[in-house]
Chains A and B, each alone.
Chain A
Amino acid sequence: MRPRLDRPGLLFAIVGLAGLALPLVQFKPNRIVPGEGLTLPAALPWGWPLLLTLAAVLVAGCLRWPSVLRLGAAAAGLLTVLLALGAAATHLTPPDDTLARVAPAAGFWLMALAFALMLADALARMNPALWLRWLILAGAVASMGVLLASGALDGVSVMREYAARQDIFLREARAHLTLAFGSLTLALLVGLPLGVALYQARRLRGPVLSVLNILQTIPSLALFGVMIPIFGWIAANVPGAAQAGVAGIGLFPALVALFLYSLLPVVSNTLTGLTGVNPATREAAIGLGLTQPQLLVQVLIPLALPVLLAAVRIVLVQNIGLAVIAGLIGGGGFGTFVFQGLNQTAMDLVLLGALPTIALALIAGIALDLLVRSSRRTA
């Protein structure tokens, strides 16, 4: 049988080969000046054999193979590209030089993209069972953790920025998580009862939902900015407010802004979930003699759970991303690095803020997608 061409594989090969041709890393004498691009063979002593191996894998990917094999090849490719980046950084940085920076360049990003796409494509075609998806997610997170902890990437510019400010990084990471999860918790505490109330009071639905809708369209930067004077005023003029932690600067205004953004998805999904319950089920439950609260807790909410979890996914992913803007108003979080980096034109610092945010959003998004799926199965 003649081997058949796999067109997505062809696309990945084009992207990946372009990546091999472009500079893998950028060597900069210090963190701000523009650097010199080095391709894989120029950056590593064993660059040529590695380049040929990667090219061979990419070209072989143009043919049809079982999805498991593709998955393995893609994961191995991704790991190799990451290790090559780390090795190039260690190799290129002169010993005792604390100023020189080796940053990932276009070639690295394209190759990483090619293998990540290959991985995603193989997974989508395999359509693995739910438990296997959880296992793959956990495996991916764990191997990234091991890779970071092993020190193999320590020479890379982003990791050197991290090493220079470990304590601050941990503090901002905590702030970021507090912002994202704190606002989610607040939104659930307020939004769920509000959704239930709207379910019962049909006439209020239109007005409340349109107010929340308008809130959602206000640009995040403006909403964050407006919170500062409002809470500054409250802290200064309402007795006891300042003691209760209300303040015009810092975490608090950002938390409230994120909370306001989260209300619409929570309230509207609660409503959708509750109204979506089969009327026959409702009637049957009432016929069995369930009281209103029992009906809600024992029948309606469990049945609406997938839609509620979908709201949690929307809110969490959205807030992890929006929390970056808190960095602009002194609210902390990974945004601090992003905007500091933009101000100093230090792109490694921008990456130090942007990459963890993206990773966090990705993990949260995928994990909650899996939760939604499993809850659908039980509901």
Chain B
Amino acid sequence: MIGRVLLALAAAVLVAFLASPDSFAAVFEPFTRNNAPPIYRQTPLWSLTLSHLTLVALAVVASTVVALVLAVLVTRPAGREFLPLARTITSVGQTFPPVAVLALAVPIMGFGAGPTLVALFLYGLLPVFENTLAGLTTQPPNVTEAARGMGLTPRQRLWQVELPLALPVILGGMRLTAVISLGTATIGSTVAARTLGEVIIAGLLSANTAFVLQGGLVVGIIAVLIHEGFQALERRARARIGQA
């Protein structure tokens, strides 16, 4: 209960801050030196937040769709041959540092939102894929037997039994992907993507802690809200399939 109140409070502060950053100037004033501006004004914060979130949302949706399709394919009889390879790629791929992936995308894509999107997409594939795979391969055998016994076709089994059973785990993968993408997107501003990282980097370059704090706080609060939001969805999905 306290957790929910705190979350609602954080969300309210976030919205108020983005709607009218200047009314919070007094809060950030103590963190500036030599009369530096306490609030970042080069670009409106709400528009940076919006483009940050758009980037993350696009990446998460794209990587979820692709990862789901791939995970379903390698767990069907026709794709089984790819299963060992898929497992190796996911475990090895996740050791690739997101920042390195981002930096390597630049020579191919040039500067801007492109490489950030590609890096977020590629990096986001793995948690969803790994979790979907785990969800689809560790189903209680009696349930799958029952579904088969009821005469469901493979397609019906997938949609009505296997995917709903795997949903909580899939959502867990999406949560990881979203939180990682949110953090990695801030680094995207070093390759000229328009994200909240711009505020933090401006703060680092001009030694203005107020900028670093406001950029960090906005992304941090959004990250916590997304994290909690997905966990609530996971709980609901678990309740639906009878795992409390």
How far does the Cβ of A18 sit from chain B's closest Cβ, in whole Å? 14
| Interface locus among A129-137, A186-194, A267-275, A357-365 | A357-365
Cβ contact within 8 Å between B99 and A325: yes
Given contacts A117-B85, A124-B87, A358-B100, contact A218 B223 (CB under 8 A): yes
| A142 CA / B62 CA spacing, docked (Å) | 39
Q: Which residues of B contact A41 (CB under 8 A)?
A: none
How far does the Cβ of B41 sit from chain A's closest Cβ, in whole Å? 19
Is B11's CB within 8 Å of the partner chain A? no
- Can you name 9 extra interface pairs (CB under 8 A) apart from A219-B186, A324-B97, A351-B104? A117-B85, A124-B84, A218-B216, A218-B220, A220-B183, A225-B200, A226-B209, A322-B99, A354-B100
| A324 CA / B85 CA spacing, docked (Å) | 29
| A354 CA / B227 CA spacing, docked (Å) | 29
Q: Which residues of A contact B183 (CB under 8 A)?
A: 217-221
How far does the Cβ of B219 sit from chain A's closest Cβ, in whole Å? 5
Q: Which residues of B contact A218 (CB under 8 A)?
A: 183, 216, 219-220, 223
Cβ contact within 8 Å between B190 and A342: yes
Query: Which of B85, B95, B200, B227 contacts A124 (CB under 8 A)?
Result: B85
Q: Which residues of B contact A214 (CB under 8 A)?
A: 220, 224
Given contacts A350-B104, A350-B107, A362-B95, contact A219 B204 (CB under 8 A): no
| A339 CA / B191 CA spacing, docked (Å) | 9
Is A6's CB within 8 Å of the partner chain B? yes
Given contacts A217-B223, A350-B104, A361-B95, contact A226 B216 (CB under 8 A): yes
Is B22's CB within 8 Å of the partner chain A? no
| A237 CA / B100 CA spacing, docked (Å) | 37
Query: From A217, which residue of chain B is reached at the shortest CB distance?
Result: B223
Q: Provide the B98-127 mask, 1 if CB < 8 A to any CB of A, else 0.
A: 111001101110010000000000000000
Given contacts A222-B200, A329-B204, A339-B190, contact A229 B31 (CB under 8 A): yes
Q: Which residues of B contact A222 (CB under 8 A)?
A: 186, 200, 212, 215-217, 219-220
Number of interface residues of A (CB under 8 A): 52
Cβ contact within 8 Å between B103 and A350: yes
Is A321's CB within 8 Å of the partner chain B? yes
**Most chain B CB atoms below 10 A, which of A213, A229, A335, A362:** A229
| A321 CA / B3 CA spacing, docked (Å) | 32
Is B88's CB within 8 Å of the partner chain A? yes
Cβ contact within 8 Å between A350 and B216: no
Is A198's CB within 8 Å of the partner chain B? no
Cβ contact within 8 Å between A123 and B220: no
Q: Which residues of A contact B173 (CB under 8 A)?
A: none
Cβ contact within 8 Å between A338 and B100: yes
How far does the Cβ of B74 sit from chain A's closest Cβ, in whole Å? 10
Q: Which residues of B contact A8 (CB under 8 A)?
A: 81-82, 85
| A228 CA / B209 CA spacing, docked (Å) | 9
Q: Which residues of B contact A353 (CB under 8 A)?
A: 103
| A125 CA / B82 CA spacing, docked (Å) | 10
Closest CB pairs A-B (n = 9): A222-B216, A321-B97, A365-B95, A124-B84, A219-B183, A225-B212, A217-B223, A229-B209, A354-B100
**Most chain B CB atoms below 10 A, which of A120, A222, A228, A329:** A222
Binding site for A on B (CB under 8 A): 3, 31, 81-82, 84-85, 87-89, 91-92, 94-100, 103-104, 106-108, 111, 179, 182-183, 186-187, 190-191, 197, 200-201, 203-204, 209, 212-213, 215-217, 219-220, 223-224, 227
Cβ contact within 8 Å between B106 and A7: no
Q: Which residues of B contact A338 (CB under 8 A)?
A: 99-100, 103
Query: Which of B108, B217, B227 contacts A217 (CB under 8 A)?
Result: B227
Q: Which residues of A contact B103 (CB under 8 A)?
A: 338, 341-342, 350, 353-354
Cβ contact within 8 Å between B88 and A120: yes
Given contacts A120-B88, A225-B216, contact A347 B97 (CB under 8 A): no
Query: From A124, which residue of chain B is reached at the shortest CB distance?
Result: B84
Query: Which of A219, A220, A226 contacts B213 (CB under 8 A)?
Result: A226
Q: Which residues of A contact B204 (CB under 8 A)?
A: 225, 228, 328-329
How far does the Cβ of B170 sit from chain A's closest Cβ, in whole Å? 20
Q: Provide the A222-263 mask, 1 if CB < 8 A to any CB of B, else 0.
A: 110110110000000000000000000000000000000000
Q: Which residues of B contact A226 (CB under 8 A)?
A: 209, 212-213, 216
| A344 CA / B95 CA spacing, docked (Å) | 27
A-B contact pairs, 16 of them (CB 8 A): A8-B85, A124-B85, A125-B84, A213-B227, A214-B224, A218-B216, A218-B219, A219-B186, A225-B216, A226-B216, A228-B204, A229-B212, A322-B99, A335-B99, A338-B100, A358-B96
Q: Which residues of A contact B81 (CB under 8 A)?
A: 6-8
How far does the Cβ of A101 sit from chain B's closest Cβ, in whole Å? 13
Cβ contact within 8 Å between A357 and B223: no
Query: From B219, which residue of chain A is reached at the shortest CB distance?
Result: A219
| A84 CA / B212 CA spacing, docked (Å) | 46
Cβ contact within 8 Å between A325 and B108: no
Cβ contact within 8 Å between A123 and B98: no
